Chains A and B, each alone.
Chain A
Amino acid sequence: EAAVTQSPRNKVTVTGGNVTLSCRQTNSHNYMYWYRQDTGHGLRLIHYSYGAGNLQIGDVPDGYKATRTTQEDFFLLLELASPSQTSLYFCASSENPGQNTLYFGAGTRLSVL
């Protein structure tokens, strides 16, 4: 099965702090995604990419930056973290998101105090 690895698994930071969430996939998938999951909101797309150097804006991009450095690695950056960004973050990858399965990582739980 396709492997998507997220790090760290848990992170606590303070308001105004700088946070980087990492994601690596070893399946040579073109597409990679960052979602946040909040109770009552389901999974909401933050940013995504369909190849190294490519970036696309999702539905809830405010306060987040992303960078796709290689085919395998996709990073989510919170440069001035706020309590509203306390959430469970998932990275996912896919060959083609419509017709092919999205493979999710185990998630990163972020708390902004």
Chain B
Amino acid sequence: QQKVQQSPESLSVPEGGMASLNCTSSDRNFQYFWWYRQHSGEGPKALMSIFSDGDKKEGRFTAHLNKASLHVSLHIRDSQPSDSALYFCAASLFTGGADRLTFGKGTQLIIQP
């Protein structure tokens, strides 16, 4: 079973619009959540992290975490063509030892000029 599930698989948004990506975890032990972004031909790069319930804003990007419902979301306002990429949600738990990050399957975001 996929422990980190993302929706939608693909999303098309007009330039200047709002893009909303969703992520649900099936493991209540996850404590740390991340969004990574991958442009075509490159490796993924960290976009932002969120560890506490509520909203976290970084520029045009806002992440929201609700640990009770195991739901994380990413909202991109004023979307730009450069935001077109594959977005991964990732989650981790802290064990103090062999820690690892579990990724979802990704959401392909297309910004239409």
A-side contacts of B13, CB under 8 Å: none
- Report the tally of A-B residue pairs with Cβ distances under 8 A: 67
Question: How many chain A residues have a CB neighbour from B under 8 Å?
Answer: 29
A-side contacts of B34, CB under 8 Å: 102
A-side contacts of B31, CB under 8 Å: 98
B-side contacts of A41, CB under 8 Å: 105
Contact of A43 (CB < 8 Å), options: B94, B97, B98, B103 = B103
State which residues 39-91 of B face A: CB under 8 Å. 42-46, 49, 51, 88, 90
A42 touches B43 (CB 8 A): no
A102 touches B101 (CB 8 A): yes
A96 close to chain B: CB less than 8 A: yes
A35 to B44, CA, bound (A): 11
A45 touches B100 (CB 8 A): yes
State which residues 31-65 of A face B: CB under 8 Å. 31, 33, 35, 40-45, 48, 50, 56, 58-59
A75 close to chain B: CB less than 8 A: no
A-side contacts of B106, CB under 8 Å: 42-43
B42 touches A106 (CB 8 A): yes
